Structure 1
Amino acid sequence: MTVPEIDLTDPAVLFDPFTAYGEAREAGPLARMTIPGLGTPWVVTRHEDAKAVLNDPRFELNSQSFLRPPGIPEHCLRYLRTMSEFDGPEHTRLRRLAAPAFTARRAEEFRPRVRRIVDALLDALPAGEVDLLAEFARPLPMEVICELVGIPEVDRPQWREWGAAVAGGFGPAFIEVIPKVVAGARAAVARCTAEPGDDLISTLLRTPERLTETELVTLVWHLVLAGQTPTNLIANAVEVLLAHPAQLAALRADPSLMSRAVEELTRLTGPQLLATPRYAKQDVAFGDVVIREGEPVITALVSANRDPRAFTDPERLDLARTEGGHLSYSFGPHFCLGAAFARAQTEEALSALLSRFPELALAGPLERSPDPGTWRLASLPVRL
């Protein structure tokens, strides 16, 4: 088997991962990735194989899968190990207890509240040119999380600041806000315990078997950490739609396409390029290559979602595409619990934006942040 190499220090990979991973995928189902300081993990590049690995108990998440930046206060550590870091019975238990708050039905019931948040953010945009990433796509998820968790209006400005720091990635600001988010989440759990409302925490507190206080605080942290995905998805989607005027016109002419369009945009330009590393629990044969026990394996969502074995003409944007099965929300036991909420949020954001601003256009060149794990813009200057 030919085993190509992908070098994450190569600017060509950072700024055009679709070509780099696509070439590796067509050379063979496995590649090696060069990550400074982390060795050369295996990379699974094809759709069918990616699904298999994500759903295979022979590949596990463990403490090596998740990096902890230094400097986190000791008293916060017990709140930071989310259900995404567990496998097996403990993951199943946590997911089962949290699932009632994240059903597709609850996401639909929550949609009007998302719509109000979207409209308020659009109302606040200045006339003329604006950075749509900074002024709309970035604040939206944190506003939605605050509404979902039941954070009082008076406390939301500080939560917006915390969300921005978390979205900025590992660094001093990230470390600094962790104890603030933990304290805010503990206060939210205490408030909902004393005075239940129509929010996620109160819903989970009403279940017969429920998460502990620590687990509820951890869930809020998980929402703040993982719930930023729509920021980059919305920005990427706007960029792609403006680059495909015929598809954009078709979507504006038939808003009923929006749900299918969001799935296609998520497949083609979803922000998460790579899944969390998993480790082989035993030797696993992969074609004529053996992945040895203890070796890391990374699923390349960026290439699996454009695999011609799974999607017809996969490099083409087709908002009417009927083929499903993209892996942007993962697959198997760790399929994103909040996927229905992310879809609803993205649909509402794009629907309102496109209907309110029919002359929406780019207002300058676009720059990307060179992030090996996330496909994201540094800014999105547009004329409204």
Structure 2
Amino acid sequence: METPVDPGVSGPVNLMDPEFMKDPFGTYSRLREQAPLVRASFFGRGTPIWIATRYDDVKTVLSDSRFVNNPAHVPGLEVENIRDRELKARGIPEEYGKYILDSILDADGADHLRLRKLVSRTFTARRVGELRPRVEEITEGLLDRLPGLAENGVVDLIEHFAYPLPITVICELVGIPEDDRPQWREWGKALVTLESDGMADALREMIAHIHDLIGRRRAAPTDDLLTGLIRTHDEDGDRLSDTEMVTLVLTLVLAGHETTAHLIGNGTAALLTHPDQLALLKGDPAMTPRAVHELMRWCGPVQMTRLRYATEDLEIGGMPVRKGEPVVAVLVGANYDPREFDDPERLDITREPDRRKENHVGFGHGLHYCLGAALARQEGEVAFEALFRRFPDLSLAVPPAELERQLMPGSWRLARLPVRL
């Protein structure tokens, strides 16, 4: 059995350290080679957690039924809910925090399957395939407008392309009216800030908005996911409570555009700074699906999963994890693990994914595998193919070192992506 690495006098790794967040790929890779599990903390305070960074260990944490997302489901112990503690520390009232803490992303077992079943039909490969013409139409329309948005020949691709595409698609699917979508973009920004006031205000406004929208949809049903959820709720409240319905809408809209937007942003920046890979893609657009997989591995926007709590004493990578202890699976550590990927730090869009399934874990793994993965991949494929077809001379408007990142723990995102068309 391996023993934990002594983190030294500095204590557990602080996942909120700005220097840590500036180079998460390198930092997690170094930690991965220290030990299978390393102690860490958020904000350098509170209960230390374990972080798992090796490919096999990450997949184990995400698929082993002995781990749960909700600490209340650890039998026989009162386990601190670390996310609840952090929300309270940031001034989020309990009446709003429940919409963050009790989502489909946090549910375990039968509750998770019940909620997932209610929305999964919207995200099947067949339904997503049927959406492709509409995704292409939205993409072409956004690209039509790009030249008119340029200032001195420069346009921000995050603001005017990477965000509008996925938020338009997911809002159409869920049933968010067009006039409300810019406000959702602003709420999304507020929720990922580290400023407490902005987050609390955004949560309160979003929840009120969803309740109002539910009332409007009851009065005038349409063919969208929200109408279907209302019908389920009204016919059988035991299958979907009022809070769960609001939380599902909140989660689906936010998760359905934030990560895809930054996959498009990160991926575009990666291709523009790797001209050999971009040339391969331009030369053979049929490689785009493989390129999306590689970009999700190499610069995916989600770097770690939610906390998982051990329901019994167990081992990960030969190291002991005690009942009730929290573990975070670090996706970027797994995706850069040389035990699984040859020369993992090299961007290579010709990497052949496992023919049975993708071998990266950018969309997670196990029961909580990303519900919208097929939609995100499709949006990425359409976005990259159309962008470089329409603007073959696209280039960065600033040196790569000057690209500004939003320093968010567990996330890899550009604040802006200034390009010349």
TM-score computed with the length of structure 1 as normaliser: 0.91
Cα pair distance change 1:299/1:153, threshold 3 Å: closer
SS of the residue aligned with 2:46? coil
Cα pair distance change 1:102/1:193, threshold 3 Å: farther
Shift of 1:135: 2.4
SS of the residue aligned with 2:185? helix
Shift of 1:72: 4.2
Gaps of 5+ in 2: 8-12, 72-80
Of 307-316 and 59-68, more deviation after overlay is shown by 59-68
**Distance (Å, rounded) in 2 between the aligned partners of 1:189 and 1:238:** 37
Q: Report if the CA contact (8 A) 1:114-1:345 is conserved.
A: yes
Given candidates 157, 171, 187, the residue that maps to 1:132 is 157
Given candidates 153, 156, 177, the residue that maps to 1:152 is 177
SS of the residue aligned with 1:83? coil
Given candidates 276, 280, 303, the residue that maps to 1:246 is 276
Of 134-143 and 292-301, more deviation after overlay is shown by 134-143
Is 1:32 aligned to 2:39, yes or no? yes
Given candidates 361, 365, 372, the residue that maps to 1:331 is 365
Q: Report if the CA contact (8 A) 1:234-1:346 is conserved.
A: yes
Which residue does 2:132 correspond to in 1?
Answer: 111
Which residue does 1:143 correspond to in 2?
Answer: 168
Provide Cα deviations, 1:274-306, integer angstroms capped at 9, x if missing partner: 111111111112354311112111111111011
**Distance (Å, rounded) in 1 between the aligned partners of 2:415 and 2:404:** 6
Which amino acid in 2 is paired with 1:45? T
Which amino acid in 2 is paired with 1:243? T
Cα pair distance change 1:318/1:86, threshold 3 Å: same
Q: Report if the CA contact (8 A) 1:166-1:225 is conserved.
A: no
Of 96-105 and 146-155, more deviation after overlay is shown by 146-155
**Distance (Å, rounded) in 1 between the aligned partners of 2:222 and 2:321:** 50
Provide Cα deviations, 1:325-361, integer angstroms capped at 9, x if missing partner: 2111111111111111211222222222111111111
Is 1:176 aligned to 2:201, yes or no? yes
TM-score computed with the length of structure 2 as normaliser: 0.83
Of 154-163 and 214-223, more deviation after overlay is shown by 154-163
Is 1:15 aligned to 2:22, yes or no? yes
**Distance (Å, rounded) in 1 between the aligned partners of 2:187 and 2:316:** 43
SS of the residue aligned with 1:57? coil
Shift of 1:224: 3.0
**Distance (Å, rounded) in 2 between the aligned partners of 1:340 and 1:179:** 31
Of 103-112 and 118-127, more deviation after overlay is shown by 118-127
Q: CA RMSD in A?
A: 2.4
**What count of residue pairs does the alignment treat as equivalent?**
384
SS of the residue aligned with 2:309? strand
Gaps of 5+ in 1: none
**Distance (Å, rounded) in 1 between the aligned partners of 2:330 and 2:391:** 35
Cα pair distance change 1:22/1:333, threshold 3 Å: same
**Distance (Å, rounded) in 1 between the aligned partners of 2:317 and 2:404:** 40
Counterpart mapping for 1:56-71 below 5 A:
56-62=64-70, 64=81, 66-67=83-84, 68-69=87-88, 70-71=90-91
**Distance (Å, rounded) in 2 between the aligned partners of 1:144 and 1:16:** 32
Provide Cα deviations, 1:104-155, integer angstroms capped at 9, x if missing partner: 2111222222223222322332232012122222333322222112223333
Which amino acid in 2 is paired with 1:229? T
SS of the residue aligned with 1:376? strand
Cα pair distance change 1:3/1:168, threshold 3 Å: same
Q: Report if the CA contact (8 A) 2:174-2:253 is conserved.
A: no
Which residue does 2:340 correspond to in 1?
Answer: 310
Cα pair distance change 1:59/1:109, threshold 3 Å: same
Q: Report if the CA contact (8 A) 1:146-1:159 is conserved.
A: no
Cα pair distance change 1:97/1:357, threshold 3 Å: same
